[in-house]
Amino acid sequence: MVREMTDGFEVLSLPEATYRTSTKEFAEKAKVDYAVAQGFIKFLVSQGIAKEVEKRKIEGAKGKPTNVYELPCELRLQLAA
């Protein structure tokens, strides 16, 4: 799947393998701040590369449920010269 961008780059999602994760889990695994992970996932969703697949509610917990996203296992960002 190729998503062409007007800003001189494109994002290529490589094999069709995907995994499901929340933003918090992704941030911990990638060793980045939550805000960075949230922005990255929002970008992928806006480009149609990732999608929200469920809302995870912890039984007995208050507050909003956690969004779970399906992300490709591998991405390549190609910048135009």
Domain around 44: 2-79
pTM above 0.75, yes or no: no
Q: Binning pLDDT at 50, 70 and 90, where does residue 13 land?
A: low
How many distinct structural domains can be found in the chain?
1
Q: Classify the C-alpha dihedral 13-81-47-24 as positive or negative.
A: positive
pLDDT of residue 10: 62
What percent of the chain has pLDDT above 90?
Answer: 41
Confidence check: pLDDT of 67 > 90:
yes
**Mean pLDDT, all residues of the chain:** 82
> Tell me, what CATH number does 25's domain have?
1.10.10.10
Residue type, 7: D
pLDDT by residue (tens digit) across 20-53? 999 999 999 999 999 999 999 998 898 888 999 9
